[in-house]
């Protein structure tokens, strides 16, 4: 991995998010990437721990903080601000997922939610419905973590396989901190809009290679599909208008100290049009600095094959 911290700053990645959102997977990915990882460090110990780190050889640190430390959550953002003021390179990753996805994951693993009995209803009504209690706990957790989510780079893990999430986390921490990273992501509307998107462009109005028999099994990364879409004037117009919009507003987001900006481009199946446009826009904006690309549906299919 390339040096992502050339200035020699002490690097800290905070991993937070919803219970069942994939924090364990993310922490394993960071550990594999060379980070020293600590799960569920009480926020009150964060400053002392980073002070201790100054006495060690420079190393990259990842700390997971979640709703298990609910009483201390209001202190996390001020602590991160203080660490930045002290010269630490700090970034925060928030792992989110739809409520349906979280309900399914807890049902499959049979793990109790850390806030499951926060309302006390289970003790009062022994026959209370487990699904309703779990749903209430998830909604309470969203409220408790709302401020952290706003200040973090969000990854929607609802449809991600573990290998896909590991790859996305590694991509995020591989880029150099201190400047805005632009992320282009393709997706399928039939599977829902990514909740981590800052902007969403609907390209379902464009000619669809799916209806060309020779192109149906291919993707927007294949040359025959690219050649077909290159010949469609509507596609060129859509691409130029998305690019013009991003050109207009990127400087404002950079000036606002944003770390990441995710532009989601969706078509029906997330296979042809959205993939093609993400590939093209990634190339077009490569000169603007740090640019990442993701293909939510396509990446998942390819990782299943391998």
Q: Annotation-wise, does 24 bind a ligand?
A: yes
Strand order in the sheet with 181-188: 199-202, 260-267, 181-188, 290-295
Task: Say how many residues make up the chain.
Answer: 306
Q: Annotation-wise, does 69 bind a ligand?
A: yes
Q: Annotation-wise, does 1 bind a ligand?
A: no
Look up residue 206 and give its two tokens.
């464009």
Q: Annotation-wise, does 21 bind a ligand?
A: yes
Q: Annotation-wise, does 20 bind a ligand?
A: yes
For residue 188, what are the β-bridge partners? 267
> Going by C-beta distance under 8 Å and a sequence separation of 6 or more, which residues neighbour residue 103?
131, 134, 135, 138
Q: Annotation-wise, does 68 bind a ligand?
A: yes
Look up residue 200 and give its two tokens.
């969403």
Q: Annotation-wise, does 305 bind a ligand?
A: no
Instruction: Judge whether 157 and 21 are in contact, CB under 8 Å.
Output: yes
> Going by C-beta distance under 8 Å and a sequence separation of 6 or more, which residues neighbour residue 8?
58
Phi, psi angles (nearest 5°) of residue 16: -140, -175
Please report which residue ranges of 96-161 form alpha helices under DSSP H. 99-109, 121-124, 130-150
Q: Annotation-wise, does 192 bind a ligand?
A: no
Q: Annotation-wise, does 195 bind a ligand?
A: no
Q: Annotation-wise, does 27 bind a ligand?
A: no
Which residue in 285, 266, 294 sits closest to 206, CA to CA? 266
**Residues making up the binding site for GTP:** 66-69
> Which residues participate in the annotated binding site for ATP?
17-24
List binding-site positions.
Answer: 17-24, 66-69
């Amino acid at each position: 991995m390339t040096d992502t911290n050339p200035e020699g700053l002490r690097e800290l990645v905070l991993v937070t998010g919803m219970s069942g959102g994939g924090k364990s997977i993310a922490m394993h990915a960071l550990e594999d990437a060379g980070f020293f990882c600590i799960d569920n460090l009480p926020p009150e110990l964060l400053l002392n721990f980073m002070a201790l780190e100054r006495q060690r050889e420079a190393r990259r640190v990842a700390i997971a903080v979640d709703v298990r430390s609910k009483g201390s959550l209001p202190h996390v953002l001020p602590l991160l601000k203080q660490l930045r003021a002290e010269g630490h390179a700090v970034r925060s990753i928030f792992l989110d997922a739809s409520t349906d996805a979280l309900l399914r994951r807890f049902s499959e693993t049979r793990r109790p939610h850390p806030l499951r009995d926060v309302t006390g209803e289970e003790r009062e009504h022994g026959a209370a419905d487990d699904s309703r209690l779990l749903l209430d706990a998830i909604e309470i957790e969203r409220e408790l973590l709302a401020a952290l989510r706003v200040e973090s780079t969000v990854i929607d893990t609802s449809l991600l396989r573990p290998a896909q999430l590991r790859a996305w986390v590694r991509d995020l921490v591989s880029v150099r901190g201190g400047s805005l990273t632009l992320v282009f992501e393709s997706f399928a509307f039939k599977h829902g809009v990514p909740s981590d998107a800052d902007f969403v462009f609907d390209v379902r109005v464009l000619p669809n290679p799916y209806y060309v028999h020779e192109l149906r099994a291919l993707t927007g990364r294949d040359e025959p599909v690219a050649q077909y879409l290159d010949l469609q004037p509507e596609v060129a117009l859509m691409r130029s208008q998305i690019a013009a919009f991003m050109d207009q507003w990127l400087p404002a987001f950079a000036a606002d100290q944003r770390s990441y900006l995710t532009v989601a481009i969706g078509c029906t199946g997330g296979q042809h049009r959205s993939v093609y446009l993400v590939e093209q826009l990634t190339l077009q904006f490569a000169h603007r600095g740090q640019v990442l690309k993701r293909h939510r549906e396509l990446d998942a299919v390819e990782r299943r094959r391998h």
